[in-house]
Amino acid sequence: MKPLAIALLSGGLDSLLAVRVLQLQSVAIEAIHVQTPFVSSEESAARVADELGVPLTFRRVGEDYVEVLRNPRYGFGKAVNPCLDCHLYMTIMARDMMIERGACCVVSGEILGQRPMSQKRNDLDLLSSRSGLVGRLLRPLSAKLLEPTIPETERLIDRARLCDYAGRGRRPLIDLAETLGVRYVPAPSPGCALTEKTFAPKLRDLFHFNAKATLWDCELVRVGRHFRIDPIHKIVLGRSADDNAKLAELAARDEAVAATLLEPESFLGPNAILCGPVSEDMLQLAGVLMAAYTRQIDPECREVLVLVSRRNASELKRIDVSNMAAARQTHVPLAR
| Binding residues for ligand SF4 (CB under 6 A) | 36, 38-39, 81-83, 86-87, 192, 194-195
Question: Residue 65 CB, nearest distance to ligand SF4 (Å)?
Answer: 10
Nearer to ligand SF4, 98 or 192 (CB): 192
CB of 192 to ligand SF4, least distance (A): 3
Q: Containing H/E element for 226?
A: strand 225-230
Reported as type and span, the H/E element at residue 308 is strand 303-310
| Least spacing, CB of residue 3 vs ligand SF4, in Å | 27
Given the complex with ligand SF4, which of 194 and 321 has the nearer CB atom? Answer: 194
Burial 171-206 (b: 16+ CB within 10 A, else e): eebeebbeeeebeebbeeeeebbbbbeebbbbbebb
> CB-wise, 194 or 275, nearer to ligand SF4?
194
- Compute the least distance from the CB of residue 39 to ligand SF4, in Å: 5
CA dihedral 255, 257, 259, 265 (to 10 degrees): 80
DSSP string, 65-121: HHHHHHS-TT---SSS--HHHHHHHHHHHHHHHHHHHT-SEEE----BTSSTTT-SH
Closest CB to ligand SF4 among residues 55, 75 = 75
Closer to ligand SF4 by CB, 36 or 44: give it: 36
Residues 6+ apart with CB under 8 A from 124: 110, 112, 139, 146
> Smallest distance from the beta carbon of 272 to ligand SF4, in angstroms?
28
- Measured from the CB of residue 236, what is the shortest distance to ligand SF4 in angstroms? 22
Complex with ligand SF4: residue 39 or 177, whichever CB lies closer = 39
Rounded Cα gap, residues 194 and 141, in angstroms: 26
Collapse the DSSP code of 48 into the 3-class scheme (helix H, G, I; strand E, B; otherwise coil) and give the result: helix
The answer to whether 274 and 260 are in contact (CB under 8 A) is yes
**Least distance between ligand SF4 and beta carbon 90 (Å):** 7
Nearer to ligand SF4, 192 or 324 (CB): 192
Q: CA–CA separation, 32 vs 233, rounded Å?
A: 38
